[in-house]
Amino acid sequence: MSENARKRIRLQLMWDRLIAVVEEQAQAILRTAFGSVVREAGDLSTGIYDLEGRMLAQAVTGTPGHVNTMAKAVMHFLDRFPLKTMKPGDVFVTNDPWMGTGHLFDFVVVSPAFYHGQTTALFASTCHVIDVGGRGFSAEARSIYEEGVRIPHMKLREEKRLNEVILSILEANSRNPVEMKGDLLSLITCNDTAQQRLDEMMGEFNLDSLEELGQYILEQSYAAMKKAINKVPPGDYAAEMKLDGYERELLLRARMSVLAEEILIDYSGSSAASNFGINSPFCYTEAYTFFGLKSILAPEVPNNHGSLRLFRILAEEGSAVHPLPPSPVTARHVIGQMLPDLAFGCLSQVLPGKVPAESAGSIWVLPFSDDGNTAQPFNVMNVGMGGVGARPGKDGLSVTAFPSGVGSIPIEVTESDSPIVFWRKEYLPDSGGPGEFRGGLGQVIEVGSSNDQVFTISAATFDRMKNPPRGREGGLPGKPGKAGLENGLCFKDKAVYRVPPEERLILELPGGGGLGDPKMREPEKIQEDLEAGYVTHEGVLKDYGQGE
């Protein structure tokens, strides 16, 4: 074996080890986080960056919205805290939506890594905290100032000394102060854990710096992504998507230009920013657009600065995909998590037969709280998931968070933390879009009070109730979502609703779109769906023209 081959094998082993380091970083958050959306659903991300703030590796555990926003966020810290001013034990923090991950509920924590007295890398981590004050998790705010406490780039720890002032301010403004502090400390802990594992790795491989390894990672990833892009015929391709919005429907427009050195997505012509908190800051728009492109073109290529820098995004300032401060942005999922499907719409024109149908997209965040007039105050969160669009050669996944990838929160956890009871949580038959390959099913969730008191639910992220996930290549749309009370009251917008003690909240989450002509679906698969309860006899007759 040549010396060059041995060197490449050694670099690859170190690359794999680096991914293991940041994966343990993520697992440290899961083990120590206080908030259920983090420890149960995995709403987090971790990664390691070179001394220029370029992402080298990310954990397997995490969401695209966190991973790909954090890829840019670290550079903002370096702009404010030059590397030469950092000391061992320092930790920096922000929850600025435009320089972090898109809304105030996500805190980004960055720690410099030192080895033998020299800075070697930067570790970053982020997770969703349950409450930052303001209006809570609601789309009702008309500006960022109403949405909660906004922390600029600051030191959270200085040479092992915690900044108790910041922690005190955050605790004083949160409805869940214990969880708030606990989650921030878990972010610090996970970065410290990563530092320990990196020290062990550098000692084992006899390294003084990560410069050579970092350069290898970025060059290899860039080359692999460029190779994938070069397989796509050059040209311009356009797609549109309508969303329910809040005060009005939103139109998202994307024009994809496949060039020799990059892929450009231009969102010019998309709707202006909403007056309510459903807008997607540019960093979040970039994050999910990048994810959509990469998941089709080169899912096997590692996600880092090298592979991501071949994608470029343009958007008009003041639009719903590039709102400017002080626009409200709490429920940025509504737009941001739909963008992969918009990218898929462009890609389907140049890669027929290789792109899935549309999915439910945005998760339905379920923030439950008291109405302010009770002796038992509470503020908890669960999540609802719809169906994934049918995939080339396969049915869509049912009740799966795509593209966010977050897991579910066990209902027992929410019930133990609040006077909320889940009476029903099950697949919604006939909700998957008909096609040769059926869309994934949504679910029906029924919730009530366990102690005869009023509670509230914020419908901030409920979408696709008017504009269901579309099918592709002859496939039909999935079933639209529906939300309301047992008495027949239907939720018409993304407001906060009161649920009386004698009533129950009933949610029907949208199903994924179908792929291919429904007439081409194999009878055996239809029969299997009937036996599993995924479709009804009435649905089969209506959607596939078959019945007993």
Q: Higher confidence at residue 441 or residue 5?
A: 441
Same domain, 465 and 318: no
User: Over pLDDT 90: what percentage of the chain?
Assistant: 96
Query: Are residue 378 and residue 494 in the same domain, yes or no?
Result: yes
Residue with tokens 């008495």: 487
Contact 299, 347 (CB under 8 A): no
Instruction: Report residue 286's pLDDT band, with 50, 70 and 90 as the boundaries.
Output: very high
Q: Is residue 279 part of a domain?
A: yes
Of the residues 209, 240, 264, which one is the last residue of a structural domain?
Answer: 209
Of 209, 229, 256, the one marking the end of a domain is: 209
Q: Residues 414, 335: one domain?
A: no
Q: Are 56 and 205 contained in the same domain?
A: yes
pLDDT for the residue 65: 93
Residues 388 and 515 in one domain: yes
Using one digit for the tens of pLDDT, what is the confidence trace for 196-224?
A: 999 999 999 999 999 999 999 999 999 99
302 SS3 class: coil
pLDDT band at 540 (very low <50, low <70, confident <90, very high): very high
CB 533 within 8 A of CB 443: no
Please indicate, yes or no, whether residues 72 and 155 belong to a single structural domain of this protein.
yes
- Region 290-313: what's the mean pLDDT? 97
pLDDT bucket at 267, cuts 50 / 70 / 90: very high
Number of domains into which the chain is organized: 3
Residues 6+ apart with CB under 8 A from 376: 370, 419, 451, 453
Same domain, 53 and 15: yes
Helix (H, G, I), strand (E, B) or coil at 380: strand
Q: Token pair of 185, please?
A: 């400390």
Give me the phi and psi of 6, to 5 degrees please: -65, -40
Task: Report the distance separating Cα 77 and Cα 108, nearest Å.
Answer: 10
Has residue 214 been placed in a domain? no
Is 395 part of any domain? yes
Out of 175, 209, 243, a domain closes at: 209
Q: Find all residues with CB under 8 Å of 374, minimum gap 6, and list them.
A: 453, 454
Residue that the structure tokens 């840019």 belong to: 72
Does 192 fall in a domain?
Answer: yes
d(CA 467, CA 242): 7
Assess whether 467 and 441 both reside in one domain: yes
Q: Is residue 490 part of a domain?
A: yes
CB–CB of 55/70 below 8 Å? Answer: yes
Using DSSP's 3-state secondary structure scheme, residue 322 falls into strand
Distance CA 420, CA 294 (A): 40
Tell me, yes or no, whether 202 lies in a domain.
yes
% of the chain surpassing 70 pLDDT:
99
Q: Are residues 201 and 230 in the same domain?
A: no
Claim to verify: residue 28 and residue 71 sit in the same structural domain: yes
Size (the chain), residues: 548
Helix (H) or strand (E) holding 32: helix 3-32
Is residue 158 assigned to a domain? yes
Task: Give the residue numbers spanning the domain of 145.
Answer: 3-209
Report which residue type is found at 34: F
| In the predicted structure, residue 460 carries a pLDDT above the cut 70 | yes
Closest CA to 229 of 293, 170, 173: 293
Same domain assignment for residues 367 and 393: yes
pLDDT in tens, 43-71: 999 999 999 999 999 999 999 999 999 99
CA 100, CA 109: separation in Å to the nearest integer? 10
Going across the sheet that includes 379-384, the strands are 379-384, 364-370, 455-458, 496-499
Residue 279 reports pLDDT greater than 80: yes
pLDDT, tens digit, 9 for 90 and up, residues 477-512: 999 999 999 999 999 999 999 999 999 999 999 999
Which tens digit of pLDDT belongs to each residue from 133-145?
999 999 999 999 9
Q: Confidence band (pLDDT; 50, 70, 90) for 457?
A: very high
Does residue 269 sit within a domain? yes
Residues 313, 366, single domain; the answer is no
Is pLDDT above 90 for 14?
A: yes
Enumerate residues 6+ apart whose C-beta is below 8 A from 473. 348, 352, 353, 515, 516, 517
CA-to-CA distance for 319 and 317, rounded, in angstroms? 6
